[in-house]
Amino acid sequence: MSNKKVLLGMSGGVDSSVSALLLKKQGYDVIGITLELFPGSSCCNTETYIDAKNVCNSIGIPHIIYNQKEEFKCKVIDNFIKEYSNQRTPNPCIECNKYMKFGAMYEKAKELGCDYIATGHYAIMEYSEKYKKYILRKSKNILKDQSYVLYNMPKELLGKIIFPLGEFETKEDVRRVAKENNLKVANKPDSEDICFIPDGDYKKFLEINSELKPKKGNIVRTTGEILGEHQGLYRYTIGQRKGLGISYKAPLFVIGFNKQKNELIVGEEKEIYKKEFLVNEVNLLLIDEIKEPMEVEVKTRYSSKNAKATIMKENEKIKVILEEPQRAITPGQSAVFYKDDIVIGGGKIL
């Protein structure tokens, strides 16, 4: 292979570090890049930069830091705040992938004359003879698969992204490669939380960084019966049971919001199951449009299992009809559609 240039996103963790090593061994001309996104976040702090730079030095590739703080605030943080203000529960990783890793980073790659960009995500990008195009598939590591958070990538990037870890079946295999090659980050723990909220307290983050402040209102049943008081609608999400501070003859869960009346609507468990819903902001990767009803598998949260469904076009939206009702379908989260293990596309749940 001629030395094709690839720009690799590096967080200083084991996944992106092993990705750098593998690409170098495969003969690519690799440049490591760490995006500077949010001061003090788990994916871009001083330790991150040092770890990423050290790994690059140890395997003999250049490393750059790219300041994208303004863009990140505008596209990811502001969106996060806006969604919670409207009683929706966002997944900021999806926005970050779309605008930062596959937006700003791709533009930087073109500027540097790179042929590809790469990340340490667990997913597979490959050419399909069946579809005569590049497709995005689930990784071999089913526990770590991240294809769900990648559905929103620009379609024109299919075939221009490399996921070096897609064929690994376990995280232990990735760590083993790091140890065998003396990478100092081999045992570095995974970061699980939202990167810009390292302590996991999203309510505190919203209160410090936005106009959202605790504003009490009634907790009500669908019948209008008042059961107690909530502390501000942004502090709750669909399906939540803990922290409601109310007692009732049966366990109660958040099933909806009435923003006009500042009411939190609760119901029994059977009321949090839904059989159909709509999605908008649709991004299709495998096909250009949904012409007729299509049988798919749908994933409605990063942590949820695939469920069988039929999807169909409804104006500019997609209607999803589930074979079996699913629990806590949450506005603001993404619904991602699969055929076998190939990502068809997805959209935001309304």
Q: What is the CATH number of the domain that holds 235?
A: 2.30.30.280
| 43 is annotated as an active-site residue | no
Q: Find how far residue 260's CA is from the centre of its chain.
A: 30
Task: Determine the number of helices (DSSP H) and then strands (DSSP E) in the chain.
Answer: 8, 17
Catalytic residue (choose from 44, 56, 96, 114): 96
Q: Are residues 123 and 22 in the same domain?
A: yes
Using H for helix, E for strand and C for coil, what is the string for 282-348?
EEECCCCCCCCCEEEEEECCCCCCCEEEEEEEECCEEEEEEEEEEECCCECEEEEEEECCEEEEEEE
Q: Are residues 292 and 220 in the same domain?
A: no
Element (H, E) at 31: strand 29-36
Catalytic residue (choose from 43, 56, 114, 195): 195
Q: Are residues 173 and 25 in the same domain?
A: yes
Looking at residue 267, the DSSP 8-state letter turns out to be E
Q: What is the CA radius of gyration of the chain?
A: 22
Q: Are residues 25 and 125 in the same domain?
A: yes
Q: Are residues 284 and 237 in the same domain?
A: no
Q: Are residues 21 and 169 in the same domain?
A: yes
Contact indicator for 292, 314 with CB cutoff of 8 Å: no
0.75 surpassed by pTM: yes
**Whole domain around residue 233: which residue ranges?**
214-267
Boundary (domain end) residue, out of 138, 159, 180: 180
* Pick from 44, 51, 40: nearest CA to 13: 51
Question: Which token pair is 46?
Answer: 């001083």
Cα 90 from Cα 84, distance rounded (Å): 7
Contact indicator for 141, 174 with CB cutoff of 8 Å: no
Q: Find how far residue 142's CA is from the centre of its chain.
A: 16
The three-point CA angle 45-37-42 to 5° equals: 40
Boundary (domain end) residue, out of 125, 155, 180: 180
Q: Is residue 82 part of a domain?
A: yes
Cα 145 from Cα 15, distance rounded (Å): 13
| 96 is annotated as an active-site residue | yes
Cα 182 from Cα 54, distance rounded (Å): 12
Q: Are residues 26 and 150 in the same domain?
A: yes
Domain total in the chain: 3
Cα 131 from Cα 288, distance rounded (Å): 12
Looking at residue 155, the DSSP 8-state letter turns out to be G
Cα 122 from Cα 206, distance rounded (Å): 30
List the chain pLDDT tens, one digit each, 350 residues. Answer: 457 999 999 988 999 999 999 999 999 999 999 999 988 776 767 788 899 999 999 999 999 999 999 999 999 999 999 999 999 999 999 999 999 999 999 999 999 999 999 999 999 999 999 999 999 999 999 999 999 999 999 999 999 999 999 999 999 999 999 999 999 898 888 877 788 998 889 999 999 999 999 999 999 999 999 999 999 999 999 999 999 999 899 999 999 999 999 999 999 999 999 999 999 999 999 999 999 999 999 999 999 999 999 999 999 999 999 999 999 999 999 999 999 999 999 999 99
